[in-house]
Amino acid sequence: MFDFILNKLESIESVVIIISVIVALFQYIVNEKKDRRSKEIGTYDSLDNKFIEFQLLCMEKPYLDIFDVPDKVPAKLNDEQKKRRINRIFSSSVNV
């Protein structure tokens, strides 16, 4: 009688272990998907923020002419403004 109960308990133990492994794998996969999605959202948010900064820069300093549509008649820039324009173009391209 005792051997019968022990045999049944061992069978139940095996089933519980198999089920727990399946549940653990399912939780791992779900957590990995959540982590990947949150990283993607963070990347998109960061890119969006950089683009908004670029647009604000274009509105604040239109004389730099760094927007995607060039001016028909570009403004005359002094040396400091030319350096600023080159630096802004370089920093915008590096940040993206």
H-helix or E-strand containing 93?
helix 79-95
CB–CB of 84/66 below 8 Å?
no
Distance CA 4, CA 96 (A): 69
Going by pLDDT thresholds of 50, 70 and 90, the confidence category of residue 66 is low
Domain parsing of the chain, residue ranges:
1-46, 61-96
pLDDT at 94 over 60: no
The model's pLDDT over 3-45, given as tens digits with 9 standing for 90+, comes to 888 889 999 999 999 999 999 999 999 999 999 999 999 999 9
CA 67 to chain CA centroid, Å, is 25
Rg for the chain, CA atoms, rounded = 31
pLDDT at 52 over 90: no
CB–CB of 51/68 below 8 Å?
no
CB–CB of 57/95 below 8 Å?
no
The model's pLDDT over 75-88, given as tens digits with 9 standing for 90+, comes to 676 677 766 766 66
